[in-house]
Amino acid sequence: MNAWEDLLKLFKEWDESGVLRHVTELDAGGRKEVAAQLPAYLARESRTPGWGDWSGQVRPPLLAGVACLGGAAAVTAWMFRREFNWRSAYSVDPGRVVELLRLRPVEWQADVARRIAARTRLPDLLYWEVVAKLVREHGIDPPDDDAFKLGWLRTLSPRADPADPLFAAYGPRIFEIDGLAGIGLWRVVETVMTLLGQGALDRTSVIEGVLRRLLRDGPGAPVELAGLHDRLDLDIDESARHARDYTALLPAGPVAVADVALAQLRRLEEAGRLEEELFAEALESLTFRPEKKLLRAALSWAGDAVLRDAGRADTVLAALSQILIQDTLALQERAVRLAVKLAPKAGPEGREAIRQAAAELPEELREKISAAYGGGIAAPDLPDTPVLTAGRGPAMPPPIASPEELARELAAYSWRADAYCYERLLAGLAEWSHRDPERLRAALRPWCQPFEPSAYGYYADEVYDNVRHAVYRAFLAFASPQDSKELTGAAPRRRNPWMPGAPERLYHRRALELVTPFEEGTGYPVLLATPTAGTGGLDPSALLDRLELLEAEGVRALPADLAQALLRLPRRCSPSDVERAARLTSEAGRRCAAWMRDGGLADPGVSVSVRPAVHSWQWQDLSVELTPPAPGLPEQVRDLFELRDGHTYALTWWSLVLPANREFAAAHLIGHLVTSMEASDQQTQVLAVLAHGDGPPGPAMAHALVSGMGRARAAERAAATDALLTLAARGEVPARELAEAITALVTADLVKLNRVVSALDDATQAGAYEAVWAVIAHVLEGLLPKEGERPRAGVADLLAAGARAARIAGVRAHLPQVAAVAARKGSSRLVLEARRLAHLIGSPGPGR
């Protein structure tokens, strides 16, 4: 046997240690032989389904290439080949890589180190330790690549050696390194404080570095550096040297950073060491911030500063004019009080700024400004709002146009794929296996050879069933029936068929039921259930065409395929389609005719209940129940009446299963959405698609929408807002059910009210103010506190959002709960917002 054949045997056994021994013992000729064979081997193996799923499979060829390829460029390119995915690259032992590189000359190693550092990228930082070892061993110049420097920062410890070449190169510029926010920066802060105490870092350089980094990153500045700045405890002279830096931090820095800057500026101003120009600039910057905390701080500073120097009145009034137009009543009241107090000292510019801003105030506050500043301040016209439209739903991508395209799509198919990719693959398999089977087999041959059971979820005595493996099984059954039969005949002791919900099981069944006809050679010429609309809907005439083709070919419809096709039909079919269906003669045709004639699947009754936890250590109890399925429904449809909780990354698939029964589909979503409020997995996109479906929305749809509105991230909430806008444009908002869902989920602490209010506010600005008002009016009934009760967080924001929607909608109404809160004594924000809303809806005003 030659060098390559010996090595290939070790590859197949996943023998990493054996590979290392073998390649280090090879002579130049043997290494050259291996180097010539490796690229083709890797290209061939990587096309095998499941390649890269196990790191032990791919590490041996990776290390063999490091040892045997010739030039530094070739070795570096080999290490970063896409076939060596994250599993192998992260799990490879850097010491073994360095051990192999040490077999080459030092200059060659330095060249490799520079090339690896240049290709290191965030956030992976692959092979960082390899380069670090080479730099420290051979005195190579530390790389200047930011990603590599970040790798050093991740390893920095309080025991760092100042003589370390990496510390000497990067320590003085520690805060210039990109990607700071992507690491555990709190640990870096503690390390810097320790190193400062040891004298390993220079204090002045650290202060300047922190401020430069905060300025550079602006809105994305890491707040941990604000904490580090506080711990540095600057004296007044150090602060004065950076007054302009602090002023520049106010407009865009995170709140924590702005707090630090403001504290330093106030300190300097109170000590008489802040230039008037910087005072005016800082105050103006604060008043343009949206955060209420900073606006309150601006008001406080403005009031104190004008007491110290009355000549600042116009500067302060200019700042107040910006706060007056903030739609927060408590801030407006404070700004009005200060503006009225300063009216006798106001110059022409200050007066005009206040008068213009006062036009946006509620009537009572506007009158106070008008009385103090010369009268005649009129209320503004209502703002223009967009025309509310439902927009277009998602589009179905085009069908696969050739066997070669189908093979490429299959090779790219992964667990991240969406339902549209799944539908295109199965439809393409049915079509091209019928139209040009030999051409399709030729295109699939590199994909399915060599045969590896693990690519289809078969591992020794255990089988993992999921949708991806079921799709692979369907393609294998066509491309290589004999290999497929081997899997079908296997009898593993354990199966792991768990899937989070019945909709996913239906996708799984549809793919897996294609295996038998392909193994038996009968085939399946067309997939009945492929949707014709992006919502999952299926045009009745398209389904009838497909059923007629099956009848002409003498092929029996597959059960899950037929069931899914029927579920995708519209709720009402045209008389001509019903008549055409009645002429079908097969069992599937007769079932379709009856389904179309009877109006499809009747909407099941849905009830949702939320029971708050009695104790802090208990979970809240959210229960979703369906009425039992009607007798005679196909098994695949009856299975959909089973609901499960949990987490899945495939929620966006689920609405396409029941496009004509939105409420039924939503019942499946609630338990998954409500348990993942902090997630950023884009699963709420299912709501935007669901809203474009059909069927009356009810409590399930309402709870699903509120769960989407309650997500922590604005981008996740946006999909729920889009769904609400679609429903509003179509006149389908279930206002009472939405209000009940908000009340129940907020009361049970499953959803944060301020997040829901934010989503409702966005819908108001987009033109859905009437629907938003209808929802908020009902929510206030359940969430406004009774006399003596502590108000829930976010209720004042809810009142303010109601006022914004009511003002645009021109609503007049009497809400006893709001009137009761408005009548209370005091000036809390809750009471003030209740008074504003009561005034708006209880007196006539311009409407639309």
**What is the separation, in whole angstroms, between the first and last Cα of the chain?**
89
Q: Is 235 exposed, middle or buried (0-12, 13-18, 19+ CB in 10 A)?
A: exposed
Q: What is the pLDDT of residues 493-533, one digit of tens each?
A: 676 656 678 999 999 999 999 999 999 999 999 999 999 99
- What pLDDT does 617 receive? 40
Angle among Cα 473, 477, 481 to the nearest 5 degrees reads 140
- What pLDDT does 181 receive? 73
Q: What is the pLDDT of residues 744-763, one digit of tens each?
A: 999 999 999 999 999 999 99
Beta-carbon contacts of 653 under 8 Å, excluding residues fewer than 6 positions away, are 418, 419, 422, 503, 504, 507
Q: What is the pLDDT of residues 181-209, one digit of tens each?
A: 777 888 899 999 999 999 999 999 999 99
- What pLDDT does 309 receive? 92
What average pLDDT score do residues 262-270 get?
A: 97
What average pLDDT score do residues 62-82 get?
A: 92
Model confidence at 616: pLDDT above 60: no
Model confidence at 86: pLDDT above 60: no
CA distance 520 to 715: 48
Q: What is the pLDDT of residues 673-706, one digit of tens each?
A: 988 888 888 899 999 999 999 999 999 999 999 9
What average pLDDT score do residues 599-603 get?
A: 94
SS3 835: helix
DSSP symbol at 695? S
What are the contacts of 768-771 at 24+ separation with CB within 8 A? 768/388, 768/724, 768/725, 768/728, 768/729, 768/733, 769/385, 769/804, 769/805, 769/808, 769/809, 770/728, 770/805, 770/809, 771/724, 771/727, 771/728, 771/733, 771/735
Cβ atoms within 10 Å of 511's Cβ, excluding its own: 23
Name the percent of the chain lying above pLDDT 90: 72
**DSSP sequence for 53-81:** SSHHHHHHHHHHHHHH--SHHHHHHHHT-
Run of H or E including 205: helix 203-217
Q: Residue 847: pLDDT band by 50, 70, 90 thresholds? A: very low
Q: Residue 180: pLDDT band by 50, 70, 90 thresholds? A: confident
Model confidence at 633: pLDDT above 90: yes
CB 601 within 8 A of CB 626: no
Give the mean pLDDT of the chain.
91
- What pLDDT does 613 receive? 57
Q: Which of 230, 221, 236 is nearest to 270 (CA)?
A: 236
Q: What is the pLDDT of residues 404-447, one digit of tens each?
A: 999 999 998 987 889 999 999 999 999 999 999 999 999 999 99
Q: Residue 52: pLDDT band by 50, 70, 90 thresholds? A: low
What average pLDDT score do residues 827-831 get?
A: 88
Strands (E), 107-237: none
- What pLDDT does 845 receive? 40
- What pLDDT does 491 receive? 66
What average pLDDT score do residues 333-349 get?
A: 94
